[in-house]
Chains A and B, each alone.
Chain A
Amino acid sequence: MPDRITMQVTRYRPEEESGESVQEYEVPCPKDWVVLDGLNYIKDRLDGSLSYRWSCRMGVCGSCGMTVNGEPKLTCETFLSEYGSGPVRVEPLKNFPVIRDLVVEIGDFMRKLVMVKPWMIRDQEKPVSEGEYLQTPNELDEYKQFSMCINCMLCYSACPIYGLEPGFIGPAAIALAQRYNLDSRDEGSAERLDVLSEHDGIWGCTFVGECTEVCPKHVDPAGAIQRYKLTAALAGLKSFVLPRSAR
């Protein structure tokens, strides 16, 4: 086990340069250090100008997503020791515009998340006096996996369609829509269908499956999307065959 490792970090300083460059830093490599520890060491001791996002450092906030040796990873969960003697290449998350160094612009993702209406939609709200909505463990299991998303965007980074297709809503947003569609307390499936079934909404997905592979929370967005394709297609068929029974 080497006690130092080289980190090759992508830099982009818009006020000084028009493109990206790579800067190398040598950092200590204790066996419990993660890539984020390396970046923090760089910022604290070697080069204070390095910019990057992080927060909880324990894999629940979704802030520290970056491309490490070509793979989208949460840098707080990726051990430096995984890379042997190195070097470890750290780049900003793919498929997003870069604001500076390792910081990417996530506005498109935030807008798409809102587009799928990720909140409980009911025809009639139950007044508090009538008590809680009851849900069985089986009903909870239907959507629980899709509720684990931490919005880290690793799936968007892994998805080639998101990189190619501006209108594609993307794995996390669709999985979140499913989290609500499959929740027994929700009644908003029809409303979400309108947004999702737009041409590029979900139909751009060709089931590459990389989104599920990189998800640190095992949400399985690919599964959510395929399942939703079937639901949406059958709904479309039904409205075609029985137009009057649709809204």
Chain B
Amino acid sequence: MSEHLRDHPAEHPGYTEYHPRWLRRRPSTYWWLERRAYVSFITRELSSIFIAWFIVYLLLFIRAVSRGDASYQQFLAWSRHPVVLVLNVVTFLFVVFHAFTWFNLAPKAMVVHVGGKPLPASVISASNYAAWVAATAFVVWLLLGG
């Protein structure tokens, strides 16, 4: 077995030889509470639930609009219900957290070369934030102005 392991490591990922005396410590169920960075990470990941909720809310909104003014007003009234309102406020906080963490980390994945040298990460982040401002301004103009 160890010969096969040595010569074909890719076929045994994560395998460690059985050794009765090696102490193997399993991660705790609450590993994500052990360090501040892990807590921050899991909070960011939980924003996924709130994104999904918002899409459902958005679709309900669209459905209400498609059914006429009365239905739309009724929907707005429903949205004023404390449970829905609090949920949306919490959603807003999580979604903003997602946006900030996303734009700050985006430069790591996207390395853009200009004239042979990569653009500094701050330039990529800054352009992401600029796009965010532009998109926000566009939506505001579309819904409130135009």
- On whether A and B touch (CB less than 8 Å), the answer reads yes
Cα distance, A15 to B118, chains bound together (Å): 55
Known: A105-B16, A108-B14, A115-B10. A164 touches B108 (CB 8 A): no
Give Cα A66–Cα B116 distance, bound, in whole angstroms: 40
B25 touches A94 (CB 8 A): yes
Residue from B19, B31, B116, B117 within 8 A of A160 (CB atoms): B31
Contacting residues, chain B, for A160 (C-beta < 8 A): 27, 31-32, 38
Closest beta carbon of chain B to A128's beta carbon, Å: 29
Check if B15 sits within 8 Å of A12, measured CB to CB.
no
Q: What number of A-B contacts does a CB cutoff of 8 Å give?
A: 94
Interface positions, chain B 9-25, Cβ under 8 Å from A, are 9-10, 12-17, 19, 21-25
> Chain A contact residues (Cβ within 8 angstroms of B): what range?
35 or more
Chain B contact residue count (CB 8 A cutoff): 32
Task: Report yes or no: A97 in contact with B108, Cβ–Cβ below 8 A.
Answer: no
Q: Is B77 an interface residue (CB 8 A)?
A: no
| CA gap between A167 and B14 in the complex, in Å | 5
Residue A118 at the chain B interface, CB threshold 8 Å: no
A28-36, A44-52, A73-81, A200-208: which lies at the interface:
A200-208
Q: Are A230 and B110 in contact (CB under 8 A)?
A: yes
User: Given contacts A138-B116, A226-B109, are A164 and B27 in contact (CB under 8 A)?
Assistant: yes
Are A70 and B35 in touch, CB under 8 angstroms?
A: yes
Q: Which residue from B12, B22, B37 sits with its C-beta under 8 Å from A213?
A: B37
Q: Is B60 an interface residue (CB 8 A)?
A: no
Interchain nearest-CB distance for B121 vs A (Å):
9
Q: Which residues of B contact A95 (CB under 8 A)?
A: 27
- Residues in A whose Cβ lies below 8 Å from that of B22: 14, 97-99, 105
Q: By CB atoms of chain B within 10 A, which of A15, A107, A168, A198 has the most?
A: A107
Across the interface, name the chain B residue whose C-beta is closest to A160: B31
Residue-wise, chain A 199-234 has the 8 Å CB interface mask toward B (1 for contact) of 010000011111001000000101100110110000
8 contacts between A and B (CB under 8 A): A20-B23, A94-B25, A97-B25, A105-B22, A108-B14, A164-B27, A207-B108, A210-B41
Which 8 residue pairs spanning A and B have beta carbons closest together? A166-B14, A14-B21, A111-B9, A226-B109, A167-B13, A97-B22, A98-B23, A223-B108
Identify 7 new A-B residue pairs, CB closer than 8 A, beyond the known A112-B13, A163-B31, A226-B109: A14-B22, A98-B22, A107-B16, A111-B5, A166-B15, A200-B13, A210-B38
